[in-house]
């Protein structure tokens, strides 16, 4: 079953399903990352912003890996390139936030981004291995 999931993840589905979601997610992340924001939606606890960073940039890595596969990369290379791009985009967002009066750059946010990307890479790598082995 995991092998089938891995093969399904690697299958090209077209521009609308492989590229557009990553572009939209990236646009929304930068929009919400650079506008004045009173408080984050969802549950409220001490490190909620770090959880948002973890899921946002981990999810972006997954979406960007689909984009890389669409443009002809094999799944492993796509996962590596998407992970590097996601962490780099997280760093860029933090730099851009440092130029605003109402947001601030935070190393802990970048660390949360990297942790989310690392987890996404592990999942993508696992799916690639499962697809290659053809496990049921």
Q: What is the pTM of this model?
A: 0.90
Domain around 122: 2-35+54-133
**Vertex 115, ends 66 and 58: CA angle to 5°?**
25
The answer to whether residue 103 sits within a structural domain is yes
The answer to whether residue 90 sits within a structural domain is yes
Residue with tokens 């979601």: 21
Q: Which of 58, 114, 68 is nearest to 91 (CA)?
A: 114
The answer to whether residue 84 sits within a structural domain is yes
Supply the pLDDT for residue 101.
Answer: 92
The answer to whether residue 46 sits within a structural domain is no
- For residues 11-20, average pLDDT: 95
Look at the chain and report how many structural domains it folds into.
1
The answer to whether residue 49 sits within a structural domain is no
Confidence of residue 41 (pLDDT cuts 50, 70, 90): low
Report the percentage of the chain scoring pLDDT > 90: 74
Report whether 4 contacts 122 (CB < 8 A).
no
The answer to whether residue 121 sits within a structural domain is yes
Does the pLDDT value for residue 44 go beyond 90? no
- For residues 2-21, average pLDDT: 91
The answer to whether residue 112 sits within a structural domain is yes
Q: Which of 2, 9, 6, 10 is nearest to 74 (CA)?
A: 10
């Amino acid at each position: 079953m995991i092998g089938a999931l891995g093969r399904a993840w690697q299958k090209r589905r077209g521009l609308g399903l492989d590229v557009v979601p990553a572009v939209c997610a990236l646009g929304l992340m930068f929009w919400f990352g650079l506008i004045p924001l009173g408080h984050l939606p969802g549950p409220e606890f001490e490190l909620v912003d770090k959880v948002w960073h973890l899921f946002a940039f981990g999810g972006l890595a997954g979406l960007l890996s689909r984009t890389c596969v669409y443009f002809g990369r094999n799944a492993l290379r796509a996962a590596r390139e998407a992970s590097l791009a996601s962490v780099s985009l997280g760093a860029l967002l933090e730099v851009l936030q440092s130029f605003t009066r109402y947001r601030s750059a935070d190393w802990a946010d970048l660390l949360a981004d990297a942790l989310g990307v690392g987890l996404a890479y592990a999942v993508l790598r696992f799916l690639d291995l499962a697809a290659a082995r053809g496990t049921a």
